[in-house]
């Protein structure tokens, strides 16, 4: 669906952050991106809808090489929605309705369609109760929820999230993840960067490990997290269950992901 091939990017201050990065986000999957602080995850996401342009290398969207023309960018940005780590950097309007309608107005969507999408999204994200609150009165968790709603109103086919569970308490994380699963079940491909390895293990179909501007490992969580020693080289740990499993069964090639599998493997 989204493909990066040998992408290099250097910030104007001279720091080279993407160093020949190649990656393929498969259609319809739940994908996770992990890597230590500063390895370039956000920079990679900024290349996923043309907010940054590679110095060299290619980016493909649905099999077509991106040409970075205005028309291509406009369509691409509508199809790839990004929820940034800090909602303060994402939300720009004073009220919830204006925030939700912002992207649609920019695309010159008809007023009646905007009103219908607003109604649907307010219902879908249960936003009616905050309707009259100024956005700056919302809590950080509520702002994160609104950021997700304001991205989903554009009906993207790829949803990218940078550290979606940062700033959320346990209940908010559960609610947020339930919503993400619901979004995914409706056919949206989801790609998230997170430091929460337990969450990755439980949730992802595919994990990409990033280190120093490149993808250095990828695969199913049960196959990636069995390689604890290799992950340590990239300053990444393993989920709690994987740590226990890798200690008990150091020669296994995969970690079970369900209680049934664990029971069967341990013959209990
Ligand atoms: N606008 C910028 N100008 C210059 N350097 C930048 C800029 N944005 C990020 N960087 C640098 O690029 C490197 C990668 O940053 P990036 O935010 O992509 O990493 P990350 O993997 O998302 O980190 P984290 O896990 O902490 O969110 C860092 O060293 C950062 O300081």
pLDDT per residue over 55-75, tens digit each?
A: 999 999 999 999 999 999 999
pLDDT at 19: 98
Here the tokens at position 194 are 């997170």
Q: 40: CA distance to ligand 1 center in Å? A: 6
Query: Does 253 score more than 90 pLDDT?
Result: no
ipTM over 0.90: yes
The domains of the chain, with CATH numbers, are 2-266 (3.40.50.300)
Distance of CA 38 to CAs 41, 65, 211, 219, 263, Å? 7, 28, 9, 22, 39
pLDDT per residue over 24-54, tens digit each?
A: 999 999 999 999 999 999 999 999 999 999 9
Atom 17, ligand 1: which residue's CA is nearest? Answer: 42
Q: 11: CA distance to ligand 1 center in Å? A: 9
Atom 29, ligand 1: which residue's CA is nearest? Answer: 38
Q: 213: CA distance to ligand 1 center in Å? A: 10
pTM above 0.90, yes or no: yes
> What are the pocket residues of ligand 1 if the criterion is a CB atom closer than 6 Å to any ligand atom?
11, 13, 15, 17, 35, 37-43
Closest CA to 201 of 161, 172, 234, 228: 228
Atom 24, ligand 1: which residue's CA is nearest? Answer: 37
Confidence of residue 268 (pLDDT cuts 50, 70, 90): low
User: What b/e readout covers 31-47, taking b as 16+ CB neighbours within 10 angstroms?
Assistant: bbbbbeeebbbbbbbbb
Here the tokens at position 128 are 């009616």
pLDDT per residue over 202-231, tens digit each?
A: 999 999 999 999 999 999 999 999 999 999
Q: 17: CA distance to ligand 1 center in Å? A: 8
* Ligand 1 atom nearest to 85, measured from its CA: 27
Confidence of residue 246 (pLDDT cuts 50, 70, 90): confident
Closest CA to 48 of 165, 143, 139, 160: 160
Here the tokens at position 44 are 């990679």
Q: 56: CA distance to ligand 1 center in Å? A: 19
Query: Does 14 score more than 90 pLDDT?
Result: yes
């Amino acid at each position: 669906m989204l493909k990066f091939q040998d992408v290099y990017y250097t910030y104007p201050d001279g720091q080279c952050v993407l160093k020949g990065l190649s990656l393929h986000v498969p259609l319809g999957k739940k994908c996770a991106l992990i890597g230590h602080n500063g390895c370039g995850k956000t920079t990679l996401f900024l290349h996923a809808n043309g907010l940054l342009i590679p110095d060299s290398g290619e980016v493909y969207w649905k099999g077509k090489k991106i040409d970075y023309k205005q028309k291509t960018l406009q369509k691409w940005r509508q199809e790839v929605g990004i929820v940034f780590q800090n909602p303060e950097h994402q939300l720009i309007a004073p009220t919830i309705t204006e925030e939700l309608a912002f992207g649609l107005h920019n695309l010159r969507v008809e007023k009646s369609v905007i009103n219908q999408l607003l109604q649907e999204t307010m219902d879908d994200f249960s936003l009616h109760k905050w309707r009259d609150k100024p956005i700056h009165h919302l809590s950080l968790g509520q702002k994160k929820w609104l950021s997700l709603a304001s991205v989903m109103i554009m009906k993207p086919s790829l949803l990218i999230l940078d550290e979606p569970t940062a700033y959320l308490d346990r209940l908010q994380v559960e609610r947020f993840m339930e919503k993400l699963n619901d979004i995914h079940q409706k056919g949206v491909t989801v790609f998230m960067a997170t430091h929460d390895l337990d969450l990755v293990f439980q949730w992802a179909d595919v994990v990409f490990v990033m280190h120093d501007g490149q993808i250095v490992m990828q695969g199913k969580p049960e196959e990636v997290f069995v390689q604890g020693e290799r992950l340590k080289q990239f300053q990444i740990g393993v989920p709690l269950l994987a740590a226990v499993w890798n200690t008990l069964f150091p020669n296994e090639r995969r970690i079970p992901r369900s209680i049934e599998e664990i029971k069967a493997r341990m013959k209990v």
